[in-house]
Amino acid sequence: MSASIAPSISALVSGAPTLAPMVVASPPAAPPRFTPAAPAAPGFVHHLVHRPNTPEGVVLGTAAPVTQEFAVSAVLPERHPLFNDGADAFHDLHSPAEALRRTALFVAHRYFRVPQERPAVFASTEVELTELEPWRRAAGPAHLTMDITLRPADVVNGVPRGLECESALSFEGVRCGTARARLVFLMPKVYQNHRERGRAASRSRPVEVEGAEPWPLRPEPKAVGRTDPRNLVLGTPAQNPAGELLVQVLADPANAVFAEAAGDHVPAVVLVEASRQTAFLLAGELHGFTVAGCVLSRWSARFQGFAEPDLPLWCRALAGPLGRAADGRPALPVTLVFFQGSRQVGSVETTVLQDC
């Protein structure tokens, strides 16, 4: 959320950036097309608007390597094969995380002139609900808007080697969440060395799986908040002596969403989905939550590397003390760690909220 949510999440259909009704901005003379960085998924359309802060930005559609503001207007899909699969009670955190990822990548290359050959790493990403009700699904298409601030970091010769991203989220005009991300652009040689070291460490057998007691069966899709078996990304769970839930990440290669996002590392959409499914499984099977009424109210990820697609990828999860949200709903904090061999790929702190 692969380091990408950290380096990648996937799947939007783009539209040419136009002036959305909820913002006021001066578009550049020749608006650039907001082209998705990966193959598109059905029905997901969004538009980008730059709010330039210099005359050059207004006329040329470029940006100086200083803090810049943008707005995104997105119509979420009603029949997406992954995002709309499940109890259909709430919008997934996938959507704003994906919109922020794609916006940051597009802005980095189009406005801040970051060379395309520099691999992008989303070192951290966080999405949090501040109001639950606007996230509840209703009949018809949903309209997501994001006011995004991008701050260049480590600027060398006018080109940033990183971006700090912050965004306020609204559904149907109601402010209801925040999103943040830290993006790093690696020099090609640094990226290559990083991948080689990570791959070597990923080949060893992880000590965390030693002595773990496997469950009898692989979970049913409904136990992880989905209905389509092709969207299940978890193998047979197990519990280790430390009381942690262990599961191997096994995405169906025939799944169009996962296949379209595939590259030379495990795509972030798989990591996001694996963390979601593992957290729901833990809350439902071990803490009595009704998964059909669950929603992630916070998802905060930190990634140290890329997950290799041809080597076993594991996730371990441990729940914290059961608490209550501000409105009294049960809230279960869950810590998840993705690892391959002796190497930690990333960690996720999330909260499962029970709608009741």
215 shares its domain with 70: no
- Structural domain total, the chain: 2
166 shares its domain with 246: no
273 shares its domain with 135: no
* Predicted structure pTM score: 0.84
Q: Is 70 exceeded by the pLDDT of residue 86?
A: yes
Last residue of a domain, one of 158, 190, 222: 190
Answer yes or no: is 82 within a domain: yes
41 shares its domain with 147: yes
Answer yes or no: is 298 within a domain: yes
20 shares its domain with 131: yes
Secondary structure of the chain as H, E, C letters: CCCCCCCCCCCCEECCCCCCCCCCCCCCCCCCCCCCCCCCCCCCEEEEEEECCCHHHHHHCCCCCCCEEEEEEEEECCCCCCCCCCCCCECCCHHHHHHHHHHHHHHHHHCCCCCCCCCEEEEEEEEEECCCHHHECCCCCEEEEEEEEEEEEEEECCEEEEEEEEEEEEECCEEEEEEEEEEEECCHHHHHHHHHHHHHHHCCCCHHHCCCEECCCCCCHHHHCCCCHHHCCECCCEECCCCCEEEEECCCCCCHHHHHHCCCCCCHHHHHHHHHHHHHHHHHHHHCCCHHHEEEEEEEEEECCCCCCCCCCEEEEEECCCEECCCCCEEEEEEEEEEECCEEEEEEEEEEEECC
177 shares its domain with 42: yes
315 shares its domain with 217: yes
What's the mean pLDDT in 229-244? 92
Answer yes or no: is 88 within a domain: yes
296 shares its domain with 216: yes
Last residue of a domain, one of 162, 190, 218: 190
What's the mean pLDDT in 220-244? 94
Answer yes or no: is 81 within a domain: yes
Q: Is 80 exceeded by the pLDDT of residue 181?
A: yes
Percent of the chain past pLDDT 90, that is, above it, reads: 58
pLDDT in tens, 216-229: 999 999 999 999 99
Give pLDDT, residue 353.
96
What's the mean pLDDT in 208-212? 75
Lowest mean pLDDT among 90-99, 162-171, 268-277, 340-349: 90-99
Q: Which domain holds residue 24?
A: 13-190
Answer yes or no: is 330 within a domain: yes
What's the mean pLDDT in 131-160? 92
* CATH number of the domain residue 121 falls in: 3.10.129.10
Q: Identify the residue with better confidence: 31 or 329.
A: 329
